[in-house]
Amino acid sequence: MNILAVDATGEVLTVALGSLELKSAAKKHDEALLPLVERLLKKARLRWEDLDAIAAASGPGRFTGIRIGMSFAAAAGFQLGIPALAISRLAAAAGRSKADRVLGALPGWKDEVYTQEHKEGKPVGAAAFTPPKDWPGVRAAAEKRGLTVSYGETTAADLLPVARAALAAEKIPPFEPFYLKPASYERPRG
């Protein structure tokens, strides 16, 4: 199955297809995304019509980046007549671990940490954010409860296993953004 994944939620834009992943540090992800995908398709020796689905990081992450990636996936999926999937970065982080009970954790804005517990690949409870000073205690408490902590940035490649599992189970997640903070949170106050 040919699933194209895009993650525009962070500093680095990433796109992945199969075992291939390309990255771009361009500041304007909206301008860099299409050329990067075209380069990836060429490298994979595939055409747009060969794609079976498109997955986009739905968050948490930068508000504008979430919208860029999801808009791209929605438009391309519609144009090609294939599913567009919104994949949580916390599910992708948890999916990197093969453990049954995982605390997916991502670095967030202002050194906060976004977290969500997952059991057998499914979210358990609500996602949360933790101030940097509280993260060591939250991590220790999770490990004491027997959770494996999977912490770190995600890329488009991390979205692919979650997207494959959703398609195989025929459970397409709702195509909606996953915001933990309001859009105004990242703007400096003047």
Domains of the chain: 3-89+153-186 (3.30.420.40), 93-151 (3.30.420)
Phi, psi dihedrals of residue 89, rounded to the nearest 5°: -65, -30
Region 157-180: mean pLDDT is 92
Higher pLDDT, 121 or 93: 93
Question: What 3-state class would DSSP assign to 16?
Answer: strand
- The answer, yes or no, to whether residue 188 has pLDDT greater than 60, is no
Asked if 87 contacts 157 with a C-beta cutoff of 8 angstroms, the reply is no
Whether the predicted pLDDT of 185 surpasses 90: no
